Structure 1
Amino acid sequence: MASTSSTAAQDPGASNSEPVIGPATSTASGAAATGSATTDGTCGASNDGTVCGNWPQGSCCSMYGFCGDSTAHYGEGCQSGPCSQAPVVAAPGPSPAPANANPGSFKVVGQSGVPVMHAALMPNGRVVFLDKVENYTQLKLGDGYYAYSAEYDPATNEVAPLAYKTNAFCSGGSFLANGTLVNVGGNAPLTWLDPTVGDGFQGIRYLTRSSSDARFNGDDWVEPGNQLNMARWYASVQTMPDGTLFVASGSLNGLDPTVLTNNNPTYEILGTDGTTQGESITMPLLVKAQPYYMYPFLHLLNDGTLFAFVSKSAEIFDVAGSQTVKTFPDLPGSYRTYPNTGGSVLLPLSVATDWQSDIIICGGGAYQDITSPTDASCGRINPYAANSAWEMDAMPSGRGMVEGTLLPDGTVLWLNGARFGAEGFNLATDPALEVLIYDPSAALGQRWTTGARTTIPRLYHSVALLLLDGTLMLAGSNPDQMPVVPPATDPQGFATEFRVEIYTPPYLSGNNADRRPTDIILSNTILSANGQQLTITFTAPPNAQAAKVALYHGGFVTHALHMSQRMLFLAAEGFEVGKATAQMLTVTGPPNNNVAPPGPYVVYVVVDGVPGVGQFVTVA
């Protein structure tokens, strides 16, 4: 277990760029090994011609100059050494998806105020938007400088500026048990543009809102000076069962990740108060996946371990023991994480399956350039199975930057992204405008349908998130180093997007909107994760046949990742079929914090597939 101190130099100029992975060396796969053996795990033409030899992690020198032994590591081939871990299953190509009988609809409802790079639904029902330091936003602060964060009220479609102290460019985030949103990492300051915002590489920012106390509404981000143990740009965060935050990966300086010294393949833990425990620990999964090691996918499993995925590789990681407890076959197909990010979702958990669930990963791409093809394939896996294997499926077309959002009816919406290119400034084209609707309970080959089509490209730096009323908010698309405002466009013809859209899913479209459960009252809004019961009263529509209760945590949304997102279907008894007057359900809450880590959640009552308006609760 290696620890690393925060000593890396930071380049202030890096804030104007992205950590671009350049073209891989063209050295033929299996080229003759003529150099000396590596001493640090780097190799190949860009590293003094060294070879891997008997390097413990594997003897293939990847096209990007790192030693290893998996497809997640070597991708298109080896400069030297063997490429012996070819996937046993080929990734399927695009598969048509029929039109959904009720496709839903899009509507523009407002302006975001700032370019939307990050977002979260807060316990007051409003959405916080967060961006990097820019030379233009629609909002200004009292000191005359632009605001780079905003609070959006879906009830009124009004937006208010928020201030922060350190640059939150490409940061991560999750919630503490008390409902405070913690945002971590970022990038260097742009003092020539805004001297009031400092270095964010090790920044920690806090935002508190309350479902019962409006005094916090409109308050700025709080930054008392706490810092991460190390610089982290593009770090992922997961709330753990004990209320701590697991913070993984990140660039040290925003420079070329094919250079070993720029990378931070470690994790650290923030305590329940959101301050670092002061140690960064090397995570071998991140080491072997370099340069594809940033913004890993993380999902908390029902035994308190993490499912971690990066590049093409996955494992179960025991945080308490700082060790890998299970590895999985590499996912066939292209790269799946930054800068060829696809989407990853922990499918809904249920008492009926003892809180076990599959994980699905869709989309991705081949390399970081506008010419990169994108991947249509999806891999779905049961991490609890004795011989876990990827079940392959496919979307109707390749898609990068596609993100999956869980819905209270148990389906998953996949939105945003592009059919060509990768993440990075001006590196994507052919926007993917259709909503894809995924039903995880359907048979393989019958899970996908196509929903409505938007007219607004949602490319790099876009978000989608579920609101209290069961609709989805879409915002962002800023594929530019600095905002490009209509009628101007960037070189690919795309402007910075400030329009906020609402997508109304099938379950609220047509006559379904009139069949919502109403008058929902919860007996308790603080739930102990010990099987505690609560009662919910509500009025069902006429001739209702079934009801279920969903407990949802939306987490922190950025770069197609929904950090800490999870949906639970709780045991609920007492529904009377066909009764249109007041109904009462007795609901059994989650059994422990492995299943539902502490923090803010939304309770949705779902009758015949149609959700009522959600209400915030706290899981303790």
Structure 2
Amino acid sequence: MKLSIISALFTLAFVLLSNESDAQLTNVKKSVLAPLNKNPGSFKVVGNSGIAAMHIVVTSPTKIVIIDKVEKNPIKQKDGRVAVSVEYDIPTNKKRVLNLNTNTFCSAGAFLGNGTLVHTGGAEAIAKDKFDEGFESLRIFEPCDDGSCDWFENPKGLTSKRWYPTMTTLSDGRVLILGGSKKPLGKSTEKDNNPTVEFFPSESPQPEPFPFLKETLPFNLYPAVHVLPGPADQKFLFVFSNTDSIVWDWGKKSIVKRLPRLPGPPRLYPLSGTSVMLPLRPEENYAAQILMCGGVAKHDANEPADDSCGRINLSNLETANWEVENFGGIRRNMPDAVILADGKTLFLNGAGKGFSGYNSDKGKKQAAEDPVLTPVLYDHRAPKGKRFTRLANSKIPRLYHSVATLIPDGRVFVAGSNPNSDVRTSNTKYVTEYRVEMYSPPYLQLGFKRPTIVSVANNNVLNKGAIEVNYNKAVPVTVSISDPNAVFSAALVHYGFVTHSVHMSQRYVVCSVQNVTNLSNGFYSMNVIMPPNGNMIVPGRNYLYINNKNVPGTTAVEVMLS
């Protein structure tokens, strides 16, 4: 009898604890579909990527470098081998083939503080196509505007093999390379896990251990990493893996704080959600808030995607906790999160069911279904429950290996989708997608006049090379606009490196605007105050936006922040 009572009490306690931990999710599941935005934006097909767009990175005001893996893309390198990388020209939608010798499958990238792009990792050699192994590769790209730049490769540039690693630019201008697997697989295993971290330029011939990536097996590939704002000498990173997160000191190589577990499913590959650090604002003392959205609970093609987001404010690590909210009423795995020019976050691409991975049975059996064609817009300053609105639909399914990024003119470049193990343009439900779309966000439908930046830091030759600006300094800016009632705001944006729903190093920082002066004839001068240090936004290539009533100017200007 006593055992029966004890057993019953134990069961009751377990149920109560379970109900308490799931209470936030229960409330989320009762939420309704987000309302349609009054200005839903629009999609337009503008070009052809030439190769499957597995990875993308904006390298200059007019160029995007696209990187695929080794597969049967229709265009070729100079030596006749299949093209793996191209430079895409935004104004003309033309492509220039770049040359690579190593397999870039599921790799990572970040910029050094001097503006050089570093790209690492990859997969096995493809002998039939004459490509070398890419696991330990380190590749360098110096952006240019004259068509002369190309990849430099060191096939043994890393200290260990990395497939699905994450990279981020650090406040000192170096890059960090974290985690990955020693070989391609459906999900991480203890045998092939690479729970280590290294830096470039390297400070050690051996990688440093990172035990957190052992603790969070098997869903620890492409971990979410964000540099945390703080004093110049702070060296804190937010790192998320599976359902857990930590604050890690990259100087001391130690955990500063273990954060509460995020309710809901794992959010990393192959149950892929996405993360974004919400815009930092000086009037909020650059308070760091992380938003994690989407994913799926099971490695199962029939499993419905998750419809929740978790948001955590890290301004006080002792009290930081996750707030769970509905993901706009739409289930979504494999989303992309793009911070727009007005500081709102666009979520697009992905599937309503299934996981990240290739189809099987010659394209007949899909890993993911129910393409989510409806983007949602997240306004992080709105009250909870009113932050999401729905936007205009795309007509193109964007599933596994889809990408999106903000570009300087305020539109969003959208490309990719290839849930096939090799290029397949027929005889499957979801073909290899080469069409490139531009999405015009709601702010381009408001009808407000758009400023044109005329000079930055006394330079009137713009976007012909990054303009040098310094942290914590007032930068003089002149704009022209035919709006006598203009209301100016400014932001620095780092677009980051995009692949697999991970936007590495993406950042948006609001800049104070001071001393606005009407110079007559539609010209205005102002001082834009740069962020205080590299923990607010990384040194190197960033883009300065001047907005009018939250509508971005005709183009942002590339600056080199140091």
AA aligned to 1:262 is: D
Q: How does 1:591-606 map to 2 (within 5 A)?
A: 591-606=532-547
Counterpart Cα distance in 1 of 2:468 and 2:97: 33
Instruction: Measure, in 1, the Cα distance between the counterparts of 2:537 and 2:33.
Output: 36
Matched, 1:186 2:186: no
Q: What pairs with 1:395-414 in structure 2 (closer than 5 Å)?
A: 395=327, 396-414=329-347
Q: Deviations over 1:215-239 (max 9, x none)?
A: 4x25321114451111000000111
Question: Could you tell me how far apart the structure 2 residues matched to 1:256 and 1:476 are?
Answer: 20
Deviation of the 1:138 alpha carbon = 2.8
Q: How far apart are the structure 1 equivalents of 2:188 and 2:103?
A: 24
- 1:144 is aligned to 80
CA distance in 1, matches of 2:276, 2:508: 10
Q: Does 1:457 align with 2:397?
A: yes
Name whichever of 598-607 and 351-360 sits farther off: 351-360
Runs of 4+ in structure 1 deviating by more than 3 angstroms, as ranges, are 83-90, 255-259, 524-530, 576-580
Q: Does residue 205 of structure 2 align to residue 278 of structure 1?
A: yes
Q: Which amino acid aligns with 1:102?
A: N
Moved more, 94-103 or 568-577: 568-577
Which whole-Å CA distance do the structure 2 matches of 1:187 and 1:335 have between them? 24
1:614 to 552, 556, 562: 556
Q: 1:358 to 1:259 in 2, by over 3 A?
A: closer
Q: Mark the CA change 1:86 to 1:368 in structure 2 (over 3 Å): closer, same or farther.
A: farther
Q: What are the within-5 Å matches in structure 2 for residues 416-435 of structure 1?
A: 416-426=349-359, 427-435=367-375
CA 1:285/1:580 → structure 2, altered by over 3 Å: closer, same or farther?
Answer: farther
The DSSP-based 3-state class of the residue aligned with 2:114 is coil
Aligned to 1:389: 321
Alignment-derived partner of residue 347 in structure 1: 278
Residue 162 (structure 2) aligns with: 232
After TM superposition, the structure 1 = structure 2 runs for residues 100-499 of structure 1, keeping only pairs within 5 Å, are 100-134=37-71, 136-192=72-128, 194-195=129-130, 197-210=131-144, 214-215=145-146, 217-255=147-185, 257=187, 259-271=189-201, 275=202, 277-303=204-230, 304-385=235-316, 386-395=318-327, 396-426=329-359, 427-485=367-425, 488-490=426-428, 493-499=429-435
| Cα distance in 1, alignment partners of residues 18 and 36 from structure 2 | 41
Report the residue type matching 1:615 in the other structure. V
Q: Deviations over 1:133-163 (max 9, x none)?
A: 00x2131122111111111111001111111
Q: Retained in 2: the 8 A contact 1:268–1:278?
A: no
Q: Structure 1 residues 429 and 84 mapped into 2: Cα distance closer, same or farther (>3 Å)? A: closer
Contact kept, 8 Å, 1:257 with 1:263, in 2: the verdict is no
Partners of 1:144 and 1:555 lie apart in 2 by: 31
TM normalised by structure 1 equals 0.81
Residue 355 (structure 1) shift: 1.7
CA distance in 2, matches of 1:463, 1:85: 37
Pairwise CA distance, 1:540: 2.6
- Cα distance, 1:383 vs structure 2: 1.3
Structure 1 pair 84/223, CA: closer, same or farther in 2 (3 Å)? same
* Aligned-partner SS, 2:158: coil
Instruction: Answer yes or no: is the 8 Å Cα contact 2:49–2:88 preserved in 1.
Output: yes
Q: Is the 8 A contact 1:551 1:604 kept in 2?
A: yes
Counterpart in the other structure of 1:581: 522
Match of 1:504 in 2: 440
**Contact 2:186 2:357 (C-alpha < 8 Å) held by counterparts:** no
Distance 2:284 2:209 in 1: 34
Instruction: Check whether the contact 2:453–2:546 (CA below 8 A) recurs between aligned residues.
Output: no
In 1: Cα distance, 2:19 partner to 2:122 partner: 35
SS at match of 1:521: strand
Kindly provide the amino acid, as one letter, of the partner of residue 153 in structure 2.
Answer: E
Residue pair 1:151, 1:218 contacting (<8 A) in 2 also: no
Instruction: Identify which range, 500-509 or 377-386, moves more after superposition.
Output: 377-386
Matches within 5 A, 1:90-109: 90-91=24-25, 92-93=28-29, 95-109=32-46
Instruction: State whether residues 544 and 607 of structure 1, in contact with CA within 8 Å, keep that contact through their aligned partners in structure 2.
Output: no
Q: Does the aligned pair in 2 maintain the 1:140–1:147 contact within 8 Å?
A: yes
2:163 alignment partner AA: W
Is 1:517 the counterpart of 2:451? The answer is yes
Q: Which amino acid aligns with 2:252?
A: G
* Structure 1, 496-505 or 140-149: larger mean CA deviation: 140-149
RMSD between aligned residues = 2.0
- What do residues 467-524 of structure 1 show as CA deviations (whole Å, max 9, x unaligned)? 1111000000011100111xx142xx11000000000001112624xx1102432126
Structure 2 CA distance for aligned equivalents of residues 569 and 97 of structure 1: 27
Q: Give yes or no for contact 2:197–2:207 (8 Å, CA) kept in 1.
A: yes
Identical positions, percent: 37
Tell me which amino acid in the other structure corresponds to 1:175: F
Aligned to 1:551: 492
Offset from partner CA, 1:587-615 (integer Å, 9 cap, x none)? 11121111122120011101111101111
Whether the 8 Å contact between 2:86 and 2:96 is mirrored in structure 1 is yes
The amino acid that maps onto 2:275 is S
Describe the shift of the 1:540–1:256 C-alpha distance in structure 2 as closer, same or farther (beyond 3 A).
closer
Task: Letter of the 2:176 partner, please give it.
Answer: F
Distance 2:212 2:154 in 1: 33
What SS class does the counterpart of residue 286 from structure 1 fall into? helix
